[in-house]
A and B are shown apart, each in its own frame.
Chain A
């Protein structure tokens, strides 16, 4: 099984090469965000599963079954794909009265969306370095949450 930090290592490796093309700069931002996403998801499932389940149930409008809870805890990919954790994770952080962490997470989500969808935007290597570096620092903060 691959671990989330490998995505971040790849992103850092990509931006450390001089003169990378824009597509690599964009890919680095995307990889870094997904590293943050998976680190956060794993941490929340491990330490704040009740908060997470409460928010999923609120958005679903029903209680999760025992089987669904088991799938969540085991990071079952089919189950995870059915839930928009990108949106739920910052909501859980906000519910935990951590609006700064939630806002920073949302900021990096937007950077990833820009990197993957906004083709008109010019993404320079320096932009990617700034974002990857800050996601790297942010992951450390999230891990101590």
Chain B
């Protein structure tokens, strides 16, 4: 993260789905977020539309928090999906956790994998697709040394096809701003419950 372009902002969504954006940028103004705040305050709808994303056009790099919970780093052009933080649900298996923490640059690697999982959970929640999102390991029965983390999405049988239809969009959102180093060792899979 560049020291001269850091920005800390909170995306908060209250129980009535009003979006409150607060930002303090160290180098420059936060006009973009001010506009977003005004735009959302002006809305009469009480329900968040399914297809709303924040595009961080004016933010070179920033730390993103949802309701006070740090969910990672946003870069310019990154897409953030506003969602109630209590709907963000995902798990990480012990084997995946152990595997990840033994990799190079484990702290950043794990942080980015968890961010991908959170974004996926957030994306599917907004699309009203209930899903179990779990960080697990991909293993291949034919190649014993082929092991890497995966984010497993489990949806009901009747929503598998719908989830596949959204797969590109979901991955675009989930992988946005994630480093190439992490993406070289991470995949996302869709399964039925």
Contact = CB atoms under 8 A, between A and B. Distances in A.
A106 B183 contact: no
Interface string B106-147: 000000000000000000000000000000001011110010
Interface string B164-193: 100110011001000010011011111010
A97 B180 contact: yes
A29 to B, nearest CB: 13
A126 interface: yes
A107 B140 contact: no
B138 A106 contact: yes
28 contacts: A86-B142, A86-B143, A87-B143, A87-B146, A90-B187, A91-B184, A94-B184, A95-B184, A99-B171, A99-B175, A99-B180, A100-B168, A103-B175, A103-B186, A103-B187, A104-B167, A104-B171, A106-B187, A107-B187, A107-B189, A113-B140, A126-B157, A127-B157, A130-B160, A130-B164, A133-B161, A134-B164, A134-B167
Given A94-B183, A107-B187, A113 B141 contact: yes
Contacts of B150: 106, 110
A104 B169 CA distance: 12
Contacts of A60: none
B7 to A, nearest CB: 26
B140 A103 contact: no
A102 interface: yes
A97 B164 CA distance: 21
Size bin of chain A's contact surface: 20 to 34
Contacts of A90: 187
Interface in B88-107: none
A44 to B, nearest CB: 17
B183 A127 contact: no
Interface of B: 138, 140-143, 146, 150, 157, 160-161, 164, 167-168, 171-172, 175, 180, 183-184, 186-190, 192
Interface string A11-44: 0000000000000000000000000000000000
A67 interface: no
Nearest to A90: B187
A84 B144 CA distance: 11
Nearest 7 A-B pairs (CB), nearest first?
A: A106-B187, A99-B183, A100-B171, A103-B187, A107-B189, A94-B184, A117-B141
A134 B167 CA distance: 10
A110 B186 CA distance: 13
Given A90-B187, A91-B184, A100-B172, A109 B140 contact: yes
B184 A110 contact: no
A106 B189 contact: yes
Contacts of B142: 86, 113
B143 A103 contact: no
Contacts of B184: 91, 94-95
A30 B113 CA distance: 29
Interface in A81-135: 84, 86-87, 90-91, 94-95, 97, 99-100, 102-104, 106-107, 109-110, 113, 117, 124, 126-127, 130, 133-134
